[in-house]
Structure 1
Amino acid sequence: MITSYSNHQSHLSKEAILIYEMMHRDGPHPNNFTLSSVLKACSFLKAMYEEARLLFDSVRERNAVVYNTMIACYAKVGDIETARQVFDKMPEKDSISWNIVISGYASNGNTSIARELFDEMLERNINSWNAMIAGYSCFGEWREAVDLFKSMLLGTVKPDHATMAVLMSACGHLGSLKLARQIHGFLQKNRTEMNFHVYNSLIDMYAKCGNVDEAYQVFDGMPMKDVVSYNVMISGLANHGRGQDALNLFAKIIGKGRDYFDCMVKVYAIKPSADHFACMVDLYGRAGLIEDALEFVKTMQLMRGKGVGKTMGCSWIEVESEFHEFLMGEALLYSKKRKSILWQTRS
């Protein structure tokens, strides 16, 4: 239970700590695995940072898992010096220990020390290389990221899709079309897993290197596209003075949404619910197509008049990444919780 709750970076982390307190009071003695899960839960809650330190200090027998979790906890809150102290005190360090402290230094902007530790490693795995390359790229040291990638190719560790995504971001910032084509060729030659992230990074790289046509070729060749794919391509077209092409592509998104809705009704004979209607109105509204949204509402009223999806009007509000639906005439709307949501939104 503690491990399950600690894997969620949310309010569920508090539940892990509460269960640990119950276990400490009434249950069996916690082992190192339990303690590492509790420390991980504390790392998600800044208010529990001091409690995590006290808990770690109270543990006499620590294994590598507990050490690594505590190093990660310190690094996450920016206390990289204390993280290094814990790392240096470890009787035996594994590859995870090295990767955590390297990533900690790199993510806190100290790429020089991160590189020193990276060079000290006797055995580097893909996570070691990715942490160092990402650290360089994150802080604008794009040439260093590319050079380190070239060094990586000389060894036995092969880059994965995460490596390539970071490398393409660095290439885009450098603006080198020659390098962009080399990276694209490397992807094709090595049959790298082409997921959404890699495809979108490839489109963005070509666009930032000034070749929107090649970016569009990649975009057009995607077996499936997500919203990021469209955003990156539209942005690339707009940034290179091809405003009309950007608008045309944007119109395709709206058209696809309407096509899916029509297909649902006409081909699969699915009766639209309040959720479907709300999604379509929201699609038009977010696109700024107010007249189309109003026209769709009229269509919706005609459909309901014919007995299709006779559901009361539906609205929704997003508060703190959580969606709350309200149906017309719903009695729950006047509960204290719902009123609180509405007043919170208004304020």
Structure 2
Amino acid sequence: MNGICISFEFHLRLRPLRNCKRRHRRAHLPPPPSTTLIEVGRSKLTDEDVKTYWLEFQNHANTEKYNQDFVKVAFGKRCRGKYGDHINKLKNKKKKPPYFTEALWKAYSNAWKDPKHVKVAKKCSENRKQGYEKAPPTHANGSVSFEVTVERMTKENNGICPKFIEAYKRTHTLKGKDSEEGVLCSQRAIETMEKVSARAAELRANGIEVPDLDVIYFELFGKLNKRNQISGAGQATRIYFPNAGSSSTGGSVGVSAEEVQRQVQAMREQVTIEVREDMEKKYEASVEDLEKKHEALVADIERKNAAKHAELVRQNKEMRSDFERKNERMLQQMMNLSEQVKQMRSEK
């Protein structure tokens, strides 16, 4: 069938359809009837187009056991996104798929060369690049909060809370496949680490062999923002810098470096204790759960063994009863034979 190839393997990644049984991996659909060539070039679908794809999708995936209204909404969102990605890939490859006729591929190619489409595509590309240059990411932790990252690092470190500077590097280092691994996510993060390193070098020159980088960070960037958080620390501020002040240019007013170091160390120990207590509670809960499962398993085995024993006793009784009946019949037959023999002898 001529038309656009929609990969249903992609659509089946929808959350409500995650467990749907796939009947076919791929199906060729006709081009959307209500979509003009310019709209195809812009990768847009109307509600009527989505309805057409939905009817075809139902022939290739089992969705009966799910809420149909919820599935339709989820499918519509994913269908539009996947359709746009598919058209964009066709445009970039510049190679006619086998399921396209020459006339259809020529029409699509002309639509992509249309001055209106070229202008819009160029503008969108420039906006994306400009947006990244003007507004670089503030961190590289994605949607995960800094608190959660610190908790994960603590568990990875056998219940010992990491230093803030380690958490800062973890949350501000690029990890994506499209970026260079191990590089800080922004120029601001790079300058921050350079300032911390420079201050640490000064302290070493003054005789402090192992300066505390957390204290240095607090001295340099300890002022709270509108969210009552230290820049670069996010929600982890309450863990590492609970006494930070909004009126100071660095740390809290009137608080010495020794006091800050003591407070940070106390907070680390508190976090370590809390994480260990949480791990112990989870361990105790898991042990209790395992004991319950063990007891249930033992009880189930005993119940099955008792049932098997009762069945064996019943079968044994039946076999004995059957044997006794057969034995009585044989004795009766032998007595009858004996009587017959006596009768025959008496007749002779």
Same fold (TM over 0.5): no
Name the larger-Rg structure: 2
Structure number with higher helix proportion:
1
